[in-house]
Copies of this chain bind each other. A is one copy, B any other.
Amino acid sequence: MKVVTEYIAVSTRGHTDIKDITPEAGRLLANSGIQNGAVTFFVSGSTAGITTIEYEPGLLQDVPAAFEKLAPERAHYAHDATWGDGNGSSHVRAALLGASLTVPFSGGKMLLGTWQQVVLIDFDTRARQRRVVMQIMGE
Protein backbone atom coordinates (compact mmCIF):
# COMPACT_ATOMS: atom_id res chain seq x y z
CA MET A 1 0.00 0.00 0.00
CA LYS A 2 1.37 3.39 -1.01
CA VAL A 3 0.50 7.06 -0.56
CA VAL A 4 1.47 9.58 -3.25
CA THR A 5 0.70 13.30 -2.87
CA GLU A 6 0.55 15.44 -6.00
CA TYR A 7 -0.58 18.99 -6.74
CA ILE A 8 -2.49 20.36 -9.70
CA ALA A 9 -1.99 24.08 -10.45
CA VAL A 10 -5.04 25.86 -11.86
CA SER A 11 -5.44 29.49 -13.02
CA THR A 12 -9.00 30.75 -12.67
CA ARG A 13 -10.98 33.91 -13.41
CA GLY A 14 -12.96 33.52 -10.15
CA HIS A 15 -16.71 34.28 -10.12
CA THR A 16 -17.63 30.57 -10.11
CA ASP A 17 -15.18 29.71 -12.87
CA ILE A 18 -15.22 25.93 -13.47
CA LYS A 19 -12.02 24.14 -14.48
CA ASP A 20 -11.70 20.54 -15.68
CA ILE A 21 -8.75 18.85 -13.92
CA THR A 22 -9.50 15.31 -15.15
CA PRO A 23 -6.79 15.00 -17.86
CA GLU A 24 -4.02 16.17 -15.50
CA ALA A 25 -5.36 13.94 -12.71
CA GLY A 26 -5.39 10.93 -15.06
CA ARG A 27 -1.74 11.57 -16.02
CA LEU A 28 -0.63 11.89 -12.39
CA LEU A 29 -2.48 8.71 -11.44
CA ALA A 30 -0.84 6.79 -14.32
CA ASN A 31 2.60 8.13 -13.29
CA SER A 32 2.12 6.92 -9.72
CA GLY A 33 2.03 3.30 -10.87
CA ILE A 34 -0.66 2.55 -8.25
CA GLN A 35 -3.34 0.26 -9.69
CA ASN A 36 -6.22 0.05 -7.17
CA GLY A 37 -7.35 2.52 -4.55
CA ALA A 38 -8.89 5.93 -4.12
CA VAL A 39 -7.85 9.46 -5.07
CA THR A 40 -8.81 12.33 -2.80
CA PHE A 41 -9.02 15.76 -4.40
CA PHE A 42 -8.89 18.63 -1.93
CA VAL A 43 -8.73 22.37 -2.45
CA SER A 44 -6.80 24.34 0.16
CA GLY A 45 -8.68 27.59 0.74
CA SER A 46 -12.21 28.50 1.75
CA THR A 47 -13.56 30.11 -1.43
CA ALA A 48 -13.40 27.16 -3.84
CA GLY A 49 -14.74 23.62 -4.04
CA ILE A 50 -14.50 20.32 -5.91
CA THR A 51 -17.22 18.27 -7.58
CA THR A 52 -17.94 16.36 -10.79
CA ILE A 53 -19.97 17.60 -13.77
CA GLU A 54 -20.36 16.86 -17.45
CA TYR A 55 -17.94 19.49 -18.70
CA GLU A 56 -19.88 21.11 -21.55
CA PRO A 57 -20.62 24.80 -22.33
CA GLY A 58 -24.27 24.76 -21.24
CA LEU A 59 -23.52 23.60 -17.70
CA LEU A 60 -20.70 26.14 -17.43
CA GLN A 61 -23.59 28.66 -17.45
CA ASP A 62 -26.18 26.64 -15.51
CA VAL A 63 -24.06 25.71 -12.50
CA PRO A 64 -22.90 29.31 -11.81
CA ALA A 65 -26.53 30.46 -12.24
CA ALA A 66 -27.65 27.98 -9.55
CA PHE A 67 -24.98 29.25 -7.15
CA GLU A 68 -25.96 32.86 -7.91
CA LYS A 69 -29.52 32.00 -6.85
CA LEU A 70 -28.29 30.19 -3.72
CA ALA A 71 -25.92 32.91 -2.52
CA PRO A 72 -26.00 36.03 -4.75
CA GLU A 73 -22.70 37.88 -5.20
CA ARG A 74 -24.23 41.29 -4.51
CA ALA A 75 -26.30 40.42 -1.42
CA HIS A 76 -25.30 41.54 2.08
CA TYR A 77 -22.92 39.26 4.00
CA ALA A 78 -21.70 39.78 7.57
CA HIS A 79 -18.36 38.39 6.37
CA ASP A 80 -17.81 41.52 4.29
CA ALA A 81 -18.20 43.63 7.41
CA THR A 82 -15.41 41.61 9.08
CA TRP A 83 -12.85 41.82 6.29
CA GLY A 84 -14.16 44.26 3.73
CA ASP A 85 -13.04 41.92 0.95
CA GLY A 86 -16.52 41.63 -0.54
CA ASN A 87 -16.47 37.89 -1.15
CA GLY A 88 -19.03 36.67 1.40
CA SER A 89 -20.92 34.85 -1.34
CA SER A 90 -17.73 32.97 -2.28
CA HIS A 91 -17.32 31.59 1.23
CA VAL A 92 -20.97 30.58 1.54
CA ARG A 93 -20.95 28.81 -1.85
CA ALA A 94 -17.71 26.97 -1.06
CA ALA A 95 -19.00 25.78 2.34
CA LEU A 96 -22.11 24.34 0.67
CA LEU A 97 -20.24 22.57 -2.15
CA GLY A 98 -17.41 21.11 -0.09
CA ALA A 99 -13.64 21.04 -0.41
CA SER A 100 -13.08 17.33 -0.99
CA LEU A 101 -14.05 14.58 -3.43
CA THR A 102 -12.87 10.98 -3.35
CA VAL A 103 -12.80 8.94 -6.57
CA PRO A 104 -12.06 5.19 -6.53
CA PHE A 105 -9.77 3.77 -9.23
CA SER A 106 -9.14 0.31 -10.58
CA GLY A 107 -6.54 -0.90 -13.11
CA GLY A 108 -4.91 2.53 -12.86
CA LYS A 109 -8.04 4.40 -14.06
CA MET A 110 -10.53 6.52 -12.13
CA LEU A 111 -14.01 4.95 -12.17
CA LEU A 112 -15.67 8.06 -13.63
CA GLY A 113 -18.64 7.96 -15.98
CA THR A 114 -18.01 8.68 -19.67
CA TRP A 115 -19.52 12.17 -19.36
CA GLN A 116 -18.25 12.94 -15.87
CA GLN A 117 -15.28 15.20 -15.17
CA VAL A 118 -13.59 16.24 -11.93
CA VAL A 119 -13.76 20.03 -11.64
CA LEU A 120 -12.48 22.80 -9.43
CA ILE A 121 -15.02 25.60 -8.98
CA ASP A 122 -13.48 28.91 -7.94
CA PHE A 123 -16.05 31.09 -6.17
CA ASP A 124 -13.74 33.96 -5.31
CA THR A 125 -14.56 37.40 -6.73
CA ARG A 126 -11.22 37.79 -8.51
CA ALA A 127 -8.76 35.74 -10.58
CA ARG A 128 -6.76 33.24 -8.50
CA GLN A 129 -3.92 30.77 -8.78
CA ARG A 130 -5.16 27.57 -7.12
CA ARG A 131 -3.40 24.39 -6.09
CA VAL A 132 -5.54 21.27 -5.81
CA VAL A 133 -4.11 18.49 -3.64
CA MET A 134 -4.45 15.09 -5.28
CA GLN A 135 -3.68 12.28 -2.92
CA ILE A 136 -3.46 8.78 -4.33
CA MET A 137 -3.74 5.88 -1.89
CA GLY A 138 -3.73 2.24 -2.92
CA GLU A 139 -1.65 -0.70 -4.06
Contacts and interface: CB of A to CB of B under 8 A. Distances in A.
Given A91-B59, A99-B101, A103-B100, A44 B111 contact: yes
A46 B115 contact: yes
A91 B42 contact: no
Given A36-B5, A100-B102, A104-B133, A95 B63 contact: yes
B71 A66 contact: yes
Copies held by the complex: 3
A103 B58 contact: no
Contacts of A36: 3, 5
Q: Which of A71, A95, A112 has the most chain B CB atoms closer than 10 A to its own CB? A: A95
B58 A77 contact: yes
A45 interface: yes
Interface of A: 1-3, 5, 36-38, 40, 42, 44-46, 51-54, 56-59, 61-63, 66, 69-71, 77-83, 88, 91-92, 94-104, 106, 111-113, 115-116, 133, 135, 137-139
